[in-house]
């Protein structure tokens, strides 16, 4: 039974999450792409040097875009619940509809939380998150 529910959660949350990551990352990276193309065109920096620079910038952007994409995917699952209940299952009792909605919301939150936790756990040892204030240790107070 849990495999069926897992597949359902992946089917419902996967595409909005992937689209959200792509769109949000694109909007954050577009300013840097403008700066990098300026390097290639005006400063004559080889494109082979600029492309790895862009790849090194992506994890910092993903630290911002992944939570936004997960929130968008959770919102999409709530929208799917409202659509399913009003069009496909109008005769279902209200308590079952609310339980179904709570399950969709809880699965979205669980998917988002575990995905973010796992990604931060993978990125922390690389030092990519050190650029953010939450990734650094606070300086000890001088006494």
Listed as ranges, residues in the chain with pLDDT below 70 are 1-2, 5, 9, 132-143
pLDDT of residue 110: 78
Q: What pLDDT digit, counting tens, does each position of 5-37 carry?
A: 677 767 777 788 888 888 888 888 888 888 888
Q: What is the pLDDT of residue 138?
A: 53
Q: Can you spell out the DSSP letters for 74-120?
A: HHHHHHHHHHIIIII-TTS-HHHHHHHHHHHHHHHHHHHHHHHHHHH
126 Cβ contact list (under 8 Å, min separation 6) = 59
d(CA 137, CA 121) in angstroms, rounded, equals 16
Q: What is the pLDDT of residue 99?
A: 82
The overall pTM is greater than 0.75: no
pLDDT computed for residue 143 by the predictor:
45
């Amino acid at each position: 039974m849990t495999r069926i529910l897992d597949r359902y959660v992946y089917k419902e949350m996967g595409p909005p999450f992937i689209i959200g990551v792509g769109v949000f990352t694109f909007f954050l990276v577009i300013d840097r792409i403008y700066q990098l193309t300026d390097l290639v065109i005006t400063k004559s920096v080889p494109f082979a040097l600029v492309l790895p620079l862009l790849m090194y910038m992506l994890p910092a952007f993903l630290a911002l875009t992944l939570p936004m994409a997960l929130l968008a995917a959770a919102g999409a699952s709530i929208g799917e619940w409202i659509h399913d209940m009003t069009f496909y299952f109008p005769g279902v009792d209200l308590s079952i509809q609310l339980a179904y909605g709570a399950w969709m919301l809880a699965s979205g939150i669980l998917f988002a939380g575990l995905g973010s936790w796992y990604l931060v756990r993978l990125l922390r040892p690389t030092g990519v998150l050190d650029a953010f204030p939450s990734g650094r240790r606070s300086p000890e107070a001088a006494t």
